[in-house]
Structure 1
Amino acid sequence: MNVVIAGPDENDIADAIEAEGHTVTNAPLGNRPGLEESGVHDADVYLLTDFEQATSIAVAKDLNPDVRVVAYAEGSLPDFASRQTDLVVDPQLLGPDAVAEEL
């Protein structure tokens, strides 16, 4: 499985996903060029770790309508973004290993 991560990785979610045998690519920015550069076109999962980049969810879905969107951060997503998100997880409630296992 190919996973694109946008945002800081303060909870080491990338390491946990790689430990499950998946390929991880970090998007330098959650904008169109950054997502294209990271290969979101071919990604199975787009994982956002910074809700301030919530608009990137719409961009990721535009570039790859079949990508599953996982938001892994504290706080709440704006309504427009939550409608396009498949799973929202608070790192305080579920650790990176458990999230990676569920992917």
Structure 2
Amino acid sequence: MFIMDIGFKIKKLRESRNLTQDQLAVELDISQSELSKIENGKAKKIDFHLMGKVCAFFNKDFVYFQEKHDPAKILDNFNIDISTEKILDELSRISNEYKKKLNDTE
């Protein structure tokens, strides 16, 4: 179990509830800077008592935080279409938009 994985999951749960780090830090009774270190994988350790608060706040079992995250599953949660066709369409749209801006400034 890596702190980075736990921090990543905490961050995604926080964002899914549209909470700022400050708001969640208050709920967990820690500083915003401590929460930032946890979310960014820079904390050396996470107190077991704190993890109990995190689990209770997000209504998650501790096992949830022990499981390795699968990047493909994370993308599924955001409904991101990463098909080649979709990527090429988006690149084309961005390119055309950029060309239009260049023509407007000339």
- Indicate whether the TM-score tops 0.5: no
Q: Normalization by structure 1: what TM-score?
A: 0.30
* More strand as a share of residues: 1
Q: Normalization by structure 2: what TM-score?
A: 0.29
